[in-house]
Amino acid sequence: QVQLVESGGGLVQSGDSLTLSCAASGTIYANYVMAWFRQAPGKEREFVSSVTWRNYKKSYADSVKGRFTIFRDAAENTVTLQMNNLKPDDTAVYYCAADVNPDSSPGVISGYDYWGQGTQVTVST
C-alpha cells in the first residue's frame, strides 16, 4: 500500500515558477514508476511527466518539455515537479501517481495504481 500526498500548488502569474512535491508513504520498490498528471476544468486527466525509481529515466509531455523538470529522492521517498515559465494553460489540478507494475507507456493513466488527492495550480495572465 502506498499513500501519496501532494503539496506546493498555488496561484501564480504567467512566467512564474512553482515547485510541486509528492510525499510517498510505504515502500517504493525499484521497479515503480512515479508520475505527475493534471486535469483542467472540463478536460480529461493528462500525463505531465514520469520518472522510473530504479534508473531515473524521465519522460515529459510535449507541452511541458523544456519548462518542467521531475526529480525523485529515494532517501526521502519524494517526487518533485519543478515548473518554470508557467502559462495559463498549465492551470489544473496536479496529481501524483504510482505504477507498481509498469508494463505500458508511462503516459497511460490506467496503468497507475495509487493516486494522491491533487493540488491546485492556477496561472493568471
Q: What is the pLDDT of residues 6-51, one digit of tens each?
A: 999 999 999 999 999 999 998 888 899 999 999 999 999 999 999 9
The CA distance from 116 to 23, in Å, is 9
Residue 121 contacts residue 13 (beta carbons within 8 Å): no
Torsion of Cα atoms, 7 then 11 then 14 then 19, to 10°: -20
Q: Note the pLDDT of residue 105.
A: 87
If you average pLDDT over residues 88-97, what whole number do you get? 98
Q: Note the pLDDT of residue 102.
A: 87
Q: Note the pLDDT of residue 1.
A: 86
Q: Note the pLDDT of residue 5.
A: 97
List the grid coordinates of 106. 508511462
Q: Which of 93, 113, 89, 83 is nearest to 101 (CA)?
A: 113
